[in-house]
Structure 1
Amino acid sequence: MIASNQWVTYMWILLAVYAVVILYFVVRGARKNTSIKDYAVGNLGFPAWVVGLSLAASMTSAATFIINPGFIALYGLSGVISFAVVLPIAAFISLIVFTKGFVKQGNAVKATTMAQWIGKRYKSKTYAFFFGIIALLLITFIVLINVGLTQVISKSLNADPFYVLMAITIFVFGYMMFGGANSMVYTNTIQAIIMCVVALILIGSGYHYFSEGITGFIDKLNAIDPNLTKPTNASSFLFRDYFEIIVAQVVIGVAIVCQPHIITKSLLLKDPSKINTYLFSGISFMIIFFLVVVVGLYARISFPDFMVNDEKLRMDEIIPTYVVTKFSVGIGLVIVVGLISAGLSTLESLIQSLSITITSDIINPLFKNKYNKNTIAINKGVIIVLGLISFLLSWQQIQNPNVSVAIFAQNGVYAYFAAAFVPVLFGTFLKNVSTRSVFIASITAIVVHFGVYYGRITPYMQEPVNNPGVSAAIGIVCSVLVGYIFYKLDAKNKTWVH
């Protein structure tokens, strides 16, 4: 029992109010939904800066606020360099470059999902169907957020994680059956503003550890474990050298924007000339969000041996426990709402984009569009099934995590965007690209990523738990090389070309 009775009482009240506010916006947005296209990309003209906030809220999730700081608590400054500096810089540059090209192509092909965009861009229904299938890997990301939210809420209510997870699943998947893009932009905007306030509170929460300056702060970490203050951490399995911290993270950062809930966000812009406002708004907020990982350092100084009430904390419990034990009830509750917002904003985007993909790009083609008139009803059924599967996987990860649910999620999500990177890159910036070249590139990315990871290929894959970032980065590089070779061959032969 970590939270006080007063904390628990106020938490129940706050959760009830939060739920009512979200449902209000869901109903408001759902009234405007007349078709599956409205559910997917909305039909309201949102200001560009608001869509930018929605992007920031979607791109930085429970991983950024709850899970990743746990890695920093375990492994120190090497993780800060990797997660708060290298990855964001690569992702922001990639986001700017990709979004501008993607919007032009997206408006030209009138796509509502990533698989549709790829299918229409390359005039291949088979390729679109393939991307519909591999989008199922994104369920692993839903699981990560479910686990993060469950840890935060169960610690705040002193409640059994099983029932908390069940309540989250029923509530979020329930309202996402009706909301869609219109309501999501409303809720994401509120969530992004709350997340910004909370990010600033969290980043400032360790100011007293700097009473003797930065040197004094480093000394405190050094006294716990000298590895915590080194730019690389040989005792970790994620930040052992500069290849893992910089090279792999740059490749991942560049490719990470090729996720459907990130890159298709730009299709909500009804006026493509406002793209700079959209990007400026989104990136400004994300800079603050990515810095939240430094809280992991404060948590490590607070719990040097990770023991609380004679129990050793698991990695995914470190930040929820830090919040519940270190803040007054008032500020603590605001932070918990921010952490919940960080999770829900991405969870909503994932449920929305994944359910649309399954409905439009898997079920409709399988049944030859026989049920086109019932697409909205089918989409609701898909969300129910998604909810059930993610509940079962999330509970398994809460009970038996492999260090952290983040490893499980990264394996799936990285495989997806590794496969998506070449078709989005070539489709945005090259002309006369053959379907064959990008299809082979996508398959190469998946085979190499999973082959290196599970085949324990390379010296990086010899630990009990390994870094999916390394195998994905190798997969992406191989995919680009293979794709470009076939692109050049097919351009010469003028075959397979669209």
Structure 2
Amino acid sequence: MNNLASQEQIIATAILIVIYMAVVLWLVIRGARKTTNIGEYALGTIGFSPVAVGLALAASMTSAATFIINPGFIALYGFSGFLSFGIVMPIAIYFSLIVITKGFRKYGSSVKALTMAQWIGKMFNSQRYAIFFAFLSLLLITFIVLICVGITQVLSNALNADPFWVLLAVVVFVFGYMMFGGANSLVYTNAIQASIMLVVAIVLLSSGLEYFEGGVDGFIAKLASIDPALVKPTNPDSLLFRDYFEIIFCQLVIGVAIVCQPHIMTKSLLLKKDEDVNKYLVVSIIALTFFFLVVFVGLYVRVYFPDLKVGGQVLPMDSLVSAYVVSKFSVYVSLIVIIGLISAGLSTLEGLIQSISSTITADLLDPLLGKELKLDIDSNQILTNKIVIVLLAAISFGLSYQQLVSPNLSVGIFAQNGVYAYFSAAFVPVIFGTFLKKTSLKAVSIASVTAIVVHFSVYYGKFMPYMKEEVNNPAIAATMAILISVVVGGIIHQLEFSKANNKEALNVH
């Protein structure tokens, strides 16, 4: 490990983290007092303002991936990565958020769905389908792993501490307080975290202004002198940004589908009035724009560490941003940035723990073991949810440590593979359920299974020319999965619709 932090930085960081932990615990205790059952844990009891919920959405959508992990890809591969992660994907996400949110909220609030699996199960009147999605939600543990790794990289660099103990402390603390707070504390902590993240986004984006003393051309020349491929719109030597199919087409598909995740979709259900939706969307999109631009910092990192080394040692991709922050900024500025990076991670981590644990408790254990566990009693629901969180913590710790010790290029690839598989399966039921009338269960369920099979077959079977490398791009597998599942679901929907119409016609005659 590279000891980049000074003694002053270590002491100041430790003090700040203790204060940060105290504030979070105060908010959690405050929220926990109002949480008496699993419904309140999942959706809260408080009438949240659209500004708070909008900030919470922006915070939970961007996370450690945007602030800590993805800039590393841009540091390695240059403009092609920024075009993909910083421009194309955000545009697709905004479009999807605006189009899907209103329809999802309208049905979600009318059926009182607590989780994504419940929404899908009630939309298509099938408990089996809900249980299937509850199982699929376990794929989102890969995203928990990414965030745990990202936060650990930042803190271990800032404290010159052994990553094993830092990771253990992060997992125990965050999973520990999420056993109690749920949505009531989540929106408060997310809104505060988003506010800190906005400050940090501005600090990070302005940290490389000195590299523009010769204007934009001067900055481009600096990058080109390190590696000409860094300033080209495509990077054939990269693993994710080889051509416009990967950079634009795949990211547009992924950006539209990425919204179909439980910790994103269910945020709109926290709004108490339909009139709040527009303000909620405006606030979240403005904040998201700042957050997504942070990946540009990867280019500053490359100018600062041209050979990606410190003291002769090559920096792992996942620790590039934390190394840049600790070595580039003064003690007190680095403290603000470190807290922002931790906030970026915790905001999504909290949402994931809350949504996955709620899904396992309400949509998996209740239908399968509800009588044995007596889950019709509120206190038993809450206790079961806490046990689920403990198990999630143990699994997340084991996988996170493995990714710290031996990542396959980056924990980002590991996380994308799991998360992209999940929302590939969720895309057809969410879109068909929101926008088509009388969609059959057969059409959406076959489409979901198709998406999972295609995603993992393309990724691990290496069927396409793009997928022949040691490390492959999960976005290609997910794009194929989404497109094929839409075609399969669409054909079955049309056949079922025609069959129903023919029956009606025969009955009339």
Aligned to 2:507: none
Equivalent position to 2:173, from 171, 174, 181 = 171
Equivalent position to 1:494, from 491, 500, 506 = 500
Task: Sort the Cα spacing of 1:369 and 1:260 in 2 relative to 1 into closer, same or farther, 3 A.
Answer: farther
Unaligned runs of 5+ in 1: none
Aligned to 1:247: 249
Matches within 5 A, 1:81-160: 81-160=83-162
Provide, for residues 433-491 of structure 1, a one-character-per-residue CA deviation record: whole Å limited to 9, x for no partner.
10000000001111111101100011110111110001100100001000010001111
Which letter does structure 2 place at the counterpart of 1:71? F
After TM superposition, the score normalised by the length of structure 2 is 0.97
Q: What is the RMSD of the two structures over their aligned residues, measured on CA atoms?
A: 0.9
Provide, for residues 99-137 of structure 1, a one-character-per-residue CA deviation record: whole Å limited to 9, x for no partner.
011011111211000000000000000000000001000
Which letter does structure 2 place at the counterpart of 1:239? F
| Counterpart Cα distance in 2 of 1:108 and 1:38 | 16
| Counterpart Cα distance in 2 of 1:151 and 1:227 | 27
Is 1:432 aligned with 2:434?
no
Q: Which moved more, 1:370-379 or 1:167-176?
A: 370-379
3-state DSSP class of the match of 1:33?
coil
Q: CA deviation at 1:2?
A: 1.0
Aligned to 2:194: 192
Is 1:388 aligned with 2:391?
no
Is 1:376 aligned with 2:387?
no
Equivalent pairs: percent with the same residue?
A: 61
| Counterpart Cα distance in 2 of 1:192 and 1:261 | 15
Aligned to 2:299: 297
| Counterpart Cα distance in 2 of 1:353 and 1:494 | 36
| Counterpart Cα distance in 2 of 1:484 and 1:435 | 12
Equivalent position to 2:286, from 277, 284, 287 = 284
Equivalent position to 1:55, from 33, 57, 82 = 57
Aligned to 1:271: 273
Aligned to 2:506: none
Which letter does structure 2 place at the counterpart of 1:25? L
Matches within 5 A, 1:2-41: 2-41=4-43
Q: CA deviation at 1:32?
A: 0.7
Aligned to 2:360: 358
Which letter does structure 2 place at the counterpart of 1:247? F
Aligned to 1:405: 411
Unaligned runs of 5+ in 2: 504-509
Provide, for residues 199-229 of structure 1, a one-character-per-residue CA deviation record: whole Å limited to 9, x for no partner.
0000000000000000000000000000000
Provide, for residues 241-263 of structure 1, a one-character-per-residue CA deviation record: whole Å limited to 9, x for no partner.
00000000000000000000001
Provide, for residues 327-379 of structure 1, a one-character-per-residue CA deviation record: whole Å limited to 9, x for no partner.
00000000000000000000000000000001011111111444211111000
Aligned to 2:214: 212
| Counterpart Cα distance in 2 of 1:148 and 1:20 | 22
Aligned to 2:451: 445
| Counterpart Cα distance in 1 of 2:37 and 2:280 | 26
| Counterpart Cα distance in 1 of 2:446 and 2:97 | 24
Q: CA deviation at 1:88?
A: 0.2
Which letter does structure 1 place at the counterpart of 2:450? T
Which letter does structure 1 place at the counterpart of 2:494? K
Equivalent position to 1:238, from 237, 240, 248 = 240
| Counterpart Cα distance in 2 of 1:146 and 1:325 | 22
3-state DSSP class of the match of 2:70?
helix
Q: CA deviation at 1:63?
A: 0.1
3-state DSSP class of the match of 2:306?
coil
Aligned to 1:64: 66
| Counterpart Cα distance in 2 of 1:249 and 1:327 | 33
Q: CA deviation at 1:494?
A: 2.3
| Counterpart Cα distance in 2 of 1:280 and 1:307 | 41
Aligned to 2:227: 225
Which letter does structure 1 place at the counterpart of 2:127? K
Provide, for residues 259-286 of structure 1, a one-character-per-residue CA deviation record: whole Å limited to 9, x for no partner.
0000110000011211000000111000
| Counterpart Cα distance in 2 of 1:15 and 1:234 | 42
3-state DSSP class of the match of 1:232?
coil
Provide, for residues 11-55 of structure 1, a one-character-per-residue CA deviation record: whole Å limited to 9, x for no partner.
010000000000000001111112110100011001111100000
| Counterpart Cα distance in 1 of 2:442 and 2:371 | 26
Is 1:474 aligned with 2:480?
yes
Is 1:455 aligned with 2:457?
no
Is 1:419 aligned with 2:425?
yes
Which letter does structure 1 place at the counterpart of 2:308? F
